[in-house]
Amino acid sequence: MKNFNPERIIGGTDSQKEGFKVTLEQAAKKSGEELFGELLLEPTPEEKLAIATAVEYVNRISKKYGAEHEMDENRIFLLEKDGISSSTNGRLNHGMCDLLHKCVAVDESLSNAILSTNIVHEGFHITSYHSFQIMEDNVETLYRGGISMVDRKDKGIYLAKAEEAIIATLSQNFFEEVICKDPFYAEEIRKTLEVKTWLINFASESKSLNEEGRKRLLDIFKEIRLLPDVDSVYFNLLENNEKGDLYKFGYFTGYFEEKLSETLHERAEERKVFNEVLDRLVVDSKGVLGTKEELFDHFARAHFTGNYFPLARLIDGALEKGSFRKVAIELGNMYTETE
Ligand SMILES: [Zn+2]
């Protein structure tokens, strides 16, 4: 990764900026052992391959959208099971991007397809535009992370949902374009799809569910992307003829509760809101904003370059002045009512 550009530090005096720049440079040199100690694992050859595949994709796509940062394969740390949760006191699960130490850390997984997809998600955070700010009390915080931006009067984070939705969309593209086409993962993908179909059929037909419960389950099952240890799930649901469907479903519920956060296409809520906004903007602009995919590309470009003025001009030009600001709030995580 390139050295951090000191212009990306907002606020503070020149000497505070200089001091923080040194802190950042030192932080980026900390080794995996220093950061994660006993939790750190040496990747197996298969895991190394999964990591390399992810890095290649992240760098290729980020570059396409104008990113100035690259993902460095040597700054990806593999941790033992639940390592991320241990090292963040339960704040995060399975994957994290640490912009201060310029690294990504992920938990080992029973599925290397999951491992690879997790790295891609965190990778798109690390290659995104980012900047820090030095607060009045000399505390440094993140100011911009990709397209999102902290309100300087602490009203919230503009476009925070867009940031996660853009990344989740790109990591789904990785899943579809790379993982699903890799012969190495073909068997895993086939079994996952069959399990998913079994679950959707069960939820659609089961008489023991009320309509609300049925809808909730179908919504979740449709979001299943990968299943850790899919072989045993496949056996239990589709090959074990000694048990009835209700028993099998009970078994799956137990498995799923434990693995839920590893199995689903991530950030469903953010994607839903973001997609609704994109659809609405495309319709309201009567063609001026182009297709939804074209509009997505404009958002992604702003996420990676940090320059959202072209996007703001485009949206305000197609609709009315102030529209972009409204979108930034609608797609933000705001703490207070904002007009
Ligand atoms: Zn994320």
In which region does residue 173 sit, left (phi positive, over 0), alpha (psi from -120 to 50) or beta (all else)? alpha
Q: Cα angle vertex 165, ends 159, 171, to 5°? A: 140
Measured in Å, residue 256 CA sits from the centre of ligand 1 at 22
Among candidate residues 171, 194, 158, the one with its CA nearest the CA of residue 332: 158
Q: What is the mean pLDDT of each run of 10 residues along the chain (339 residues)?
A: 58 88 92 96 97 98 96 97 94 92 95 96 95 82 86 89 97 97 97 97 92 94 94 96 92 90 89 97 95 97 94 96 96 78
- Cα(199) to centroid of ligand 1, in Å? 28
Sheet holding 103-107, edge to edge: 40-41, 76-79, 103-107, 95-98
If DSSP codes are grouped into helix, strand and coil, which group holds residue 225? coil
Q: Whole-angstrom Cα distance, residue 53 to residue 56?
A: 5
- Residue 170 Cα to ligand 1 midpoint, Å, equals 11
Per the rule left: phi > 0, alpha: psi between -120 and 50, beta: everything else, 42 is beta
Angle at 22 between CA 13 and CA 41, to 5 degrees: 140
Token output for 318: 């197609």
Alpha-carbon span 308 to 129, nearest angstrom: 11
Instruction: Tell me the CA–centroid distance for residue 239 and ligand 1, in Å.
Output: 36
Contact in structure between 315 and 324 (CB atoms under 8 Å): yes
The reported pLDDT for the residue numbered 284 is 96
What's the pLDDT score for residue 3?
Answer: 45
How many whole angstroms separate alpha carbon 40 and alpha carbon 78?
6
In the numeric block, the tokens 């990806």 are attached to 76
Q: Report the separation in Å between the CA atom of 196 and the middle of ligand 1, taken as the mean of its atom positions.
A: 25
| Residue 95 φ/ψ region, left for φ over 0, alpha for ψ in the -120 to 50 degree band, beta for the rest | beta
Please check whether residue 252 is in contact with residue 192, taking contact to mean a CB–CB distance below 8 angstroms: no
Give CA–CA dist 230/235, Å, rounded.
Answer: 8
Q: Identity (one letter) of the amino acid at 146?
A: G
State pTM to two decimals.
Answer: 0.92
Q: What is the pLDDT of residue 7?
A: 55
Q: Determine the distance separating the centroid of ligand 1 and the alpha carbon of 269, expressed in angstroms.
A: 13
- Gap from CA of 159 to ligand 1 centroid (Å): 13
The answer to whether 71 and 2 are in contact (CB under 8 A) is no
Domain spans, the chain? 6-181, 183-263, 268-332
Residue 145, pLDDT score: 84
Cα 312 to middle of ligand 1, angstroms: 23
